[in-house]
C-alpha cells in the first residue's frame, strides 16, 4: 500500500511579521487608553479644588453673602460657609468622568490618527494639522458623549446649595437625577426610561462641543509644538520638552474652551429649565452679561486646566515610557 506524503504548509515570513505587528499595535492602543485614563485621573484629583471654584464662578450671578466673583473670593466663601472639605466635592464623579472621557479622547487619538492616515493613503500627512484635528475631534466626540452622565453628576455635586447638597454620594446623585427625569416623563405621558436618559444627557450638545474644542486645541497643539521644536532642533525628547509643549497647550485650550464650558456648566445645573438649549443659553448670557460673561471663571479655568494639562502630559509620557511605548 502506497502512503500519501503529508502536505506541509509554510506561512511566508512576511505574513507572520504582519500578524505580530498588528497584535502588538492593538495591545499598544489598549495601553495608551490605560495611560491616558491614569494620567488624567491623577491630574484631575490634584486639580479638583480649582475645578470646583471654576464651576462655582461660572454658575454664580447673585449668591447670598458672596463677596465677589474673583476666584479667591469664591474659594474663601466656600471655606467659610461649607468648610475646607467642600473643595474635595464630586471627586468620585470626576474620576469616573476622566476614566471614560479622557481615556477615550486622549487614549484613542493616535488610533484615529493612524486609521485616517491609512484611509487617506497618506494624503493626510502626519505633520499636518488637518489629520491631528480630525483625529482629536472624532475621539473627543465619542468620549464626551459617553461620559456626559458622569460629567453632569460631577457638576451637580460641585454646585452650591444654600441648604446643603441634596446628594449623599455619586450613586445617590445618579439615582436622583434619573428618578427626577423619569417622574417628569411619566407625568408627561412618556417612557420613564427615556426621561431618565434625557435627564442624564442634559447638556450633551455643549459637552460634546466643548470636548471637541478642548481636545483639538489641547492635544493637537501639544503634538504640533513637540513636533516643531524637535524638527527644528530646539529641544530633544524628554521632560523639558513635554513641560514646554504642555504649558502652551494648557493656555490655548483654556482660551478656547472657557466660553463653551460656561454654557455646559449652566445647562447641566439648570434644574428649572431656564434655558431651552445650548443656543438659548448662549443668547441669554450674551444679552444679560455680555461677551465677558463667557469668560467667567477664566482665571481659575487657566489655573485648573493649565495645571491639569501639564501634569497630564508629564504623567502620560512617563507612563508610556514605563509601558514600553514610544513618546507621543
**Dist. CA 288–CA 290, nearest whole Å:** 6
241: how many CB neighbours lie within 10 A of its CB? 18
Contact 221, 248 (CB under 8 A): yes
Q: What is the pLDDT of residues 24-65, one digit of tens each?
A: 777 899 999 999 999 999 999 998 887 777 777 767 653 444
Over range 278-303, report the average pLDDT: 87
* 81-123 residue pLDDT tens: 676 656 667 788 999 999 999 999 999 999 999 999 999 998 9
pLDDT at 101: 95
pTM over 0.75: yes
Q: Once rounded to an integer, what is the mean pLDDT over residues 125-136? A: 93
Give the number of other Cβ atoms within 10 Å of residue 240's Cβ: 11
C-alpha to C-alpha distance for 28 and 198, rounded to whole angstroms: 36
Distances (CA, A) of 72 to 76, 236, 263, 305: 6, 38, 22, 17
Grid cell in block for residue 71: 476666584
267-287, pLDDT tens digit by residue? 888 878 888 888 899 999 999
**Looking at residue 11, what is its pLDDT?**
55
For the chain, counts of helices (H) and of strands (E): 11, 0
Yes or no: say if 268 and 151 are a contact pair by the CB < 8 Å rule.
yes
**pLDDT at position 260 over 90:** no
- Burial of residue 288 (CB within 10 Å: 0-12, 13-18, 19+) is exposed
pLDDT at 242 over 60: yes
The pLDDT tens digits for 189-239 are: 999 999 999 999 998 988 899 899 999 999 999 999 999 999 999 999 999
Amino acid at each position: 500500500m502506497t502512503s500519501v506524503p503529508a502536505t506541509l504548509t509554510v506561512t511566508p515570513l512576511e505574513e507572520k511579521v504582519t500578524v505580530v505587528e498588528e497584535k502588538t499595535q492593538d495591545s499598544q492602543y489598549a495601553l495608551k487608553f490605560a495611560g491616558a485614563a491614569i494620567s488624567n485621573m491623577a491630574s484631575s484629583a490634584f486639580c479638583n479644588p480649582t475645578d470646583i471654584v471654576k464651576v462655582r464662578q461660572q454658575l454664580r450671578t447673585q449668591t447670598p453673602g458672596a463677596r465677589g466673583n474673583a476666584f479667591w473670593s469664591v474659594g474663601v466663601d466656600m471655606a467659610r460657609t461649607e468648610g475646607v472639605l467642600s473643595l474635595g466635592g464630586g471627586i468620585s464623579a470626576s474620576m469616573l468622568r476622566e476614566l471614560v472621557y479622557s481615556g477615550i479622547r486622549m487614549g484613542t487619538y493616535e488610533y484615529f490618527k493612524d486609521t485616517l492616515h491609512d484611509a487617506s493613503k497618506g494624503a493626510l500627512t502626519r505633520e499636518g494639522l488637518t489629520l491631528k484635528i480630525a483625529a482629536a475631534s472624532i475621539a473627543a466626540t465619542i468620549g464626551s458623549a459617553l461620559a456626559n452622565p458622569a460629567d453632569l453628576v460631577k457638576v451637580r455635586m460641585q454646585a452650591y446649595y444654600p441648604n446643603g447638597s441634596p446628594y449623599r454620594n455619586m450613586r445617590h446623585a445618579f439615582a436622583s437625577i434619573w428618578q427626577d427625569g423619569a417622574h417628569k416623563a411619566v407625568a408627561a405621558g412618556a417612557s420613564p426610561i427615556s426621561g431618565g436618559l434625557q435627564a442624564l444627557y442634559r447638556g450633551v450638545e455643549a459637552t460634546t462641543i466643548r470636548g471637541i474644542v478642548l481636545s483639538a486645541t489641547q492635544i493637537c497643539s501639544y503634538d504640533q509644538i513637540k513636533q516643531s521644536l524637535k524638527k527644528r532642533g530646539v529641544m530633544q525628547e524628554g521632560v523639558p520638552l513635554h513641560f514646554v509643549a504642555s504649558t502652551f497647550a494648557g493656555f490655548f485650550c483654556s482660551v478656547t474652551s472657557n466660553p463653551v464650558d460656561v454654557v455646559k456648566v449652566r445647562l447641566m445645573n439648570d434644574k428649572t429649565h431656564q434655558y431651552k438649549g445650548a443656543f438659548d443659553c448662549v443668547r441669554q448670557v450674551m444679552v444679560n452679561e455680555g461677551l465677558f460673561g463667557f469668560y467667567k471663571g477664566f482665571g481659575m479655568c487657566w489655573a485648573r486646566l493649565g495645571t491639569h494639562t501639564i501634569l497630564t502630559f508629564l504623567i502620560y509620557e512617563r507612563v508610556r515610557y514605563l509601558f514600553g511605548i514610544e513618546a507621543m
